[in-house]
Structures are given as C-alpha cells and as structure tokens.
Amino acid sequence: MRVLGLDYGSKTVGVAVSDELGITAQGLMTFTRAKENALRKTLAGIESICEEYSVDTIVLGYPKNMDNSVGEQAKKAEEFAGMLTSRTGLKVVLWDERLTSLQAKRVLKEADIHDRREQKKVIDKLSAVLILQSYIDSLGLKRDIGLEDQDA
C-alpha cells in the first residue's frame, strides 16, 4: 500500500505518492483551480489517484503558524481533510509543513531554477514531496526505535 502526500493551497494542490515499499516520495502533479472553494474536480482527481495507486493513507500538509498556533490556512486544511475522509474513506494525517515552501524554494535554487514562472510550475508538487518524505522518514524512525505500533 502507498501513501499520498498533499500540499493544499488556496488555488493549487501539489500531489506526491510513495513508492510501494513506503521509502521514497515522488511528485505526481499539481491540481489548479480557478476559485479557492471549487474543489469538486480536485477531490475527484485525488480519489482517482488513490484508487490507481492503492493508497491507504493520505498525508496532508498542515500549515501551522511558527508559534504552533492554528491559523486560517490550517483551519482550511482541517476542513479539506474532512472532505478527503468523506470522499475517499481513507485515513488522513495532518502533517506539520512549516517551512516546507521555503525548503522547496531552496531546492529549486540549488537546481538552478531561478525563473519564477518555472518555479511556480513545480513548487507545490515539490512541497508535497517534502511533506510526504518527512512523514515517511518519521515512520522509519519509529520502526528503528520500536514505536511502529503508535500512530504517526
């Protein structure tokens, strides 16, 4: 079974999926919508990906504030998590994504991708990869120290 990683934004959702062994995350795509609340096609697309890749868990970036408080964007992520659970019936894990976008921009800079238009095309997908890889790495750490029976 695979894990799906999502970076939920006001007009885009970056998507990544784990390999079958749950070791690495690969970027798949970015859903783009004209309006923030126009989520029907995005949810249908995510549902389709979950079926195609036999996903059993969805990891959704949770954009908490730097002081660990829950702001407006985090509340929107919570609402989206509820929609995902209703639509797919899968477990949705909210995963702290603080500084993920900054990390993604740093990766793009190191890859010598400086054009903002080019960055915009891949930033959400790359953020989804970073969110998912962080989650996967935490599971490996739990296995290494014998905590694999506890929730992430």
Q: What is the pLDDT of residues 104-147, one digit of tens each?
A: 777 767 777 766 676 666 778 989 999 999 999 998 755 554 55
What is the spatial distance between Cα 119 and Cα 126, in angstroms, rounded to a whole number? 10
What is the model's pLDDT at position 143? 55
Q: Is residue 132 within 8 Å of residue 59, measured between CB atoms? A: yes
CB neighbours of 74 closer than 8 A, spacing ≥ 6?
62, 63, 64, 65
Is 152 contained in some domain? no
Low-confidence ranges of the chain (pLDDT < 70): 108, 114-116, 118-121, 141-152
Q: Bridge partners of 12?
A: 32
Note the pTM of the prediction, 2 decimals: 0.84
- Going by C-alpha positions, the residue among 112, 53, 61, 52 that lies closest to residue 84 is 61
Domain with residue 74: its CATH number is 3.30.420.140
Is 38 contained in some domain? yes
Is 151 contained in some domain? no
Q: Give the strands of the sheet with 2-8, arranged side by side.
A: 25-32, 12-18, 2-8, 55-62, 91-96
Is 96 contained in some domain? yes
Is 91 contained in some domain? yes
109 class by beta-carbon count within 10 Å (0-12 exposed, 13-18 middle, 19+ buried)? exposed
What is the model's pLDDT at position 105? 72
Is 65 contained in some domain? yes
pLDDT above 70: percentage of residues in the chain: 84
Domain count, the chain: 1
Q: Domain range for residue 126? A: 2-145
